[in-house]
Chains A and B, each alone.
Chain A
Amino acid sequence: MSIQKRKRYASIDKKECVACGSCIKICPLAAITVPKGIHAEVNRNQCIGCGKCLKSCPASVIEIVDEVMHKEDISYEKQTKKVV
């Protein structure tokens, strides 16, 4: 028997991010920071993948990914796909 765990979160293309901070302002969970002024970082534990940051990002470098984890016996198989 297989158990599925799903997790949606925002993923940032760090090479293309301009660190403007638009995503910081829009994130309802304060899950995004720009700690070193180089690129934004998402706290995956806090992010729920609502997609607000994606819509506000002026550089269009954010995507929402849907991570599906299958638990079979004791091992997890991770599948990640871009949903937006």
Chain B
Amino acid sequence: MKSKQKKWYDYLWIMSLLYLLLGFFNILFAWLGLICFVVPLLISIWKGNKGYCNHYCGRGQLFALLGNKLKLSRQRNIPAFLRSNWFRYGFLTFFLIMFGNMLFSTYLVFSELRSLNEVVTLMWTIKLPWNWAYQGTRVIPGVAQFAFGFYSLMLTSTLLGMVTMVLFRPRSWCVYCPMGTMTQAVCKIKHKN
């Protein structure tokens, strides 16, 4: 058997964990989460594969670690409907609509039509006060608003991933991850012929 030597990217789960922690101290770190949006798309468009999901996704690694090493997962089969195309693409659509909604809120704050809302919204409904993580005036309010919105998105998806990690297999989030669905769709289009 070939020995499996750990590579540098096998430790990217630390970055995912760090990202979540940094958001508790300074919300502006949330901007770093854009890496998880842009890099998978760029890889799928340029290289035509899911290299990000397959090797570099720190979140997937974190779930695998929690589920396997810490044995937090029940290791059950995921219900078939969660891997069906209508659910995966439906969830992607919902996610993109909510992302658009967040961008619109950012635009309103940028245009000074609305004041900065220092809250993190969990599951798109539960508003948690998060004012301690924003210390002030170094950036314009719109930049901070995007950070609050984006961190809400990242925290919500992590929470959903945690729940399915416990209920089913460690990386169950990967089945309906909007970025995974989107990059797979890009690859399907790219390799159509």
Interfacial residues, chain A to chain B (CB-CB below 8 A):
16, 18-22, 24-25, 28-30, 34-38, 55-61
Contacts and interface: CB of A to CB of B under 8 A. Distances in A.
Contact of A28 (B2, B50, B183): B2
Interface residues of B, number: 37
B171 A20 contact: yes
A58 B75 contact: no
A18 B188 contact: no
B54 A24 contact: yes
A60 B180 contact: no
B49 A36 contact: yes
Given A37-B183, A60-B169, A22 B83 contact: no
Contact of B83 (A16, A25, A30, A37): A16
A30 B5 CA distance: 12
Main SS of the interface on chain B? helix
What 4 pairs between A and B have smallest CB-CB spacing?
Answer: A21-B54, A37-B187, A20-B174, A37-B50
A35 B60 contact: no
Contact of A34 (B50, B168, B170, B181): B50
A58 B184 contact: no
Q: Which of A21, A29, A38, A56 has the most CB of B within 10 A?
A: A21
B44 A22 contact: no
Q: Which of A20, A37, A57 has the most CB of B within 10 A?
A: A37
Interface string B161-187: 000000011111111010011011011
17 contacts: A18-B174, A18-B175, A18-B181, A30-B2, A34-B54, A36-B48, A36-B49, A37-B50, A37-B184, A37-B187, A37-B191, A38-B187, A56-B68, A56-B170, A58-B168, A59-B175, A60-B78
Interface in B117-156: none
A58 B78 contact: yes
Interface of B: 1-2, 4, 44, 48-51, 53-55, 60, 64, 68, 75, 77-78, 83, 88, 168-175, 177, 180-181, 183-184, 186-188, 190-191
A25 to B, nearest CB: 8
A21 B174 CA distance: 9
Given A38-B188, A56-B68, 18 more contacts: A18-B88, A19-B53, A20-B171, A22-B174, A29-B2, A34-B50, A35-B49, A37-B49, A37-B186, A37-B187, A56-B169, A57-B169, A58-B78, A58-B170, A58-B173, A59-B175, A60-B169, A61-B83
A35 B53 CA distance: 13
B86 to A, nearest CB: 13
